[in-house]
Amino acid sequence: MLTIYGMRSSGNCYKLQLLLDQLGRAYRWVDVDSAHGDTRTAEYLAKNPNGQVPLLELDDGRRLAESNAILCYLAAGTALLPGDAWLRALTLQWLFFEQYSHEPYIAVARFISLYLPSDHPRRSELPQLHQRGAQALAVMEKHLHEHEWFVGDCYSIADIALYAYTHCASDGGFDLAIYPAITAWLARVKAQPGHSPLQR
């Protein structure tokens, strides 16, 4: 049995929920509320010294952190992670894009907007986060004008990784209506067999 330590409302954790539900794999979910310090306890830091969720734990005690690394591990040997070396490299390209050019802006804007009080000083970061997040969305929009999916001609973990925070980007103040290709892609992802929603 796979064990996932995660926070259900986190997009990074949702990636794993979505993948496992679509693969039909059994797993145990252990709720860890990172917003209220659960990842900073001595018990949790002994499992993941970086103090973040999600975390995958195998029955033999091995543990793997970082959401996109976990996606690659869980999707290995399935159609969701291409076997072709070039397509697999393109998958990694989009996973790195998601973590470096997308998540730091779209996910952080969502966190500030949803979880911090209206007078919190970090709200001053939102204009820059919106600017940088819009740049990432523009890259996605351009790609999706010409392709149905992010890698090759089929749905993959590249789509799962980018879907996680894009589909709820409006929580952080992004207007997805101005991105028709992204909007159509979001609908395609939602229509995939085994799709499960983010728990807010």
Write the pLDDT tens digit of every residue in 20-69: 999 999 999 999 998 889 999 999 999 999 999 999 999 999 999 999 99
pLDDT confidence band for 147 (50 / 70 / 90): very high
| 198 has a pLDDT exceeding 90 | yes
- For residue range 99-111, list pLDDT tens digits in order: 999 999 999 999 9
Q: What share of the chain in percent tops pLDDT 90?
A: 98
Confidence class for position 94, pLDDT limits 50, 70, 90: very high
Structure tokens at 91: 């998958």
Mean pLDDT of the chain: 97
pLDDT value of position 24: 97
pLDDT in tens, 153-172: 999 999 999 999 999 999 99
Q: Report which residue type is found at 134.
A: A
pLDDT at 187: 98
Is pLDDT of 86 > 90?
yes
Residues 6+ apart with CB under 8 A from 121: none
User: Which pLDDT value is given to residue 81?
Assistant: 98
The pLDDT of residue 36 is 85
Q: What is the pLDDT of residue 200?
A: 81
